[in-house]
Amino acid sequence: PRVDLDSVQGDTTAILNLVKGIVSTLSTVNSRLQALETQVARSLPPTISSKPAVVPVMFRSPARTQEDLDAREAELANSEVYDVVMNSLSRMGGTDVADTIRRMMSFLIHTDLAVSMNWGGVCNKLAACDLLSMELVKDAILSQQRYADVSGEELLVHMRRAFRSARDRAGGRTKRITKPPKPNDVDLDDD
């Protein structure tokens, strides 16, 4: 079978012209998109407000009592306060998601209060599942780019664990561990 070289060359030329046209069109579209992006960026208001967001005084130390926690929950009902505190929390770091959650929760709830709480509120403890503070921690975690793929279930596991291990952070572990008495020194030089 003989191949007609002129026909193949003609097809190749047609394909090259088609590709050149596509590249030219894409270049035009790209420059128009860049111009549009610049125009939109200029028309949007600046993202930094003239008034810096300041974390309310009550959130500068963790809640130690139920009354402190109730006052904070009432304050968090205000969406502006919620956003300011969430932005502050979202800047907290940690080695992983569990460490970051523990740090955030320790920032909001003191260990002494966390000992008297659990997730569901069973065994005469305070319930944490309905607190706005817990929603705040969840939103702050999910707002961080590095934890964007963390599921809600995984967050719940770590939040529950933070309450479960509060006794250990409060020194309860050392109280529960009974140390065996040291044996008296034996004098080996007795002859």
- Inform me whether the pLDDT recorded for 59 exceeds 80: yes
- Inform me whether the pLDDT recorded for 2 exceeds 90: no
Q: Which of 60-69, 91-100, 133-142, 172-181 has the lowest mean pLDDT?
A: 172-181
Is the model more confident about 50 or about 114? 114
Asked whether residue 23 falls in the same domain as residue 76, the answer is no
Give the range of the structural domain holding residue 67, as residue numbers without chain letter: 57-172
**Number of domains forming the structure of the chain:** 2
Query: Is residue 49, in this structure, part of any structural domain at all?
Result: no
Q: Which of 55-59, 140-144, 172-176 has the lowest mean pLDDT?
A: 172-176
- Residue 15 has a pLDDT of 92
- Residue 136 has a pLDDT of 92
The pLDDT of 175-186, averaged and rounded, is: 63
Query: Is residue 93, in this structure, part of any structural domain at all?
Result: yes
The pLDDT of 37-65, averaged and rounded, is: 71
Asked whether residue 89 falls in the same domain as residue 150, the answer is yes
Asked whether residue 85 falls in the same domain as residue 145, the answer is yes
Query: Is residue 75, in this structure, part of any structural domain at all?
Result: yes
- Inform me whether the pLDDT recorded for 125 exceeds 50: yes
Where does the pLDDT of residue 160 fall: very low under 50, low under 70, confident under 90, or very high at 90 and above?
very high
Asked whether residue 116 falls in the same domain as residue 75, the answer is yes
3-state secondary structure the chain: CCCCHHHHHHHHHHHHHHHHHHHHHHHHHHHHHHHHHHHHHHHCCCCCCCCCCCCCHHHCCCECCHHHHHHHHHHHCCHHHHHHHHHHHHCCCCCCHHHHHHHHHHHHECHHHHCCEECCCCCCCEECCCCHHHHHHHHHHHHCHHHCCCCHHHHHHHHHHHHHCHHHHCCHHHHHCCCCCCCCCCCCCCC
